[in-house]
Amino acid sequence: MAGIGPITQDWEPVVIRKKAPNAAAKKDEKAVNVARQAGGEIETSKKSNAGTNKAASSSTTLNTRKLDEETENLAHERVPLELKKNIMQARLDKKLTQAQLAQLINEKPQVIQEYESGKAIPNQQIIGKLERILGVKLRGKK
């Protein structure tokens, strides 16, 4: 490196400036007061729904009224009394417990309990499995 020549440095001045104020800083109360004192322009606008929740509540009243006027009774179909008695009778004839029957049809014991208590929503696949294992016809005419 000795034969290259004198070492010089090329320094350029670096200027560091503050960022221009963003929109939030311009709305700051301190910034507004400084602008007032300096005689700058200040734009103010009143928001009509500021501090209220009118926009959200006005649309819900329509939906609430529709719900209040709705009289249709909506409920899921349940297992008929005849079906639950037939399942229970066929299971007892085969001398099976609810848990054993559930295991034979690859379902949880809770499913059999719901069908026999009438709380289950009828599923044709499960009824078909029960018919096959119990050897009785549970659907349609006998």
Per-residue pLDDT of the chain (142 residues; tens, 9 = 90+): 556 777 777 778 877 887 776 766 666 778 778 878 888 777 777 666 666 666 555 556 677 777 777 777 778 888 899 999 999 999 999 999 999 999 999 999 999 999 999 999 999 999 999 999 999 998 876 5
Report d(CA 52, CA 48) in Å as an integer: 9
- Check residue 49 and give its pLDDT: 65
What is the structure's pLDDT at 26?
Answer: 64
Residue 124 belongs to what H/E stretch?
A: helix 124-134
pTM (two decimals): 0.49
**132-136 contact pairs (CB < 8 A, 24+):** 133/101, 133/104, 133/105, 134/87, 134/90, 134/91, 134/94, 134/101, 135/90, 135/94, 136/86, 136/90
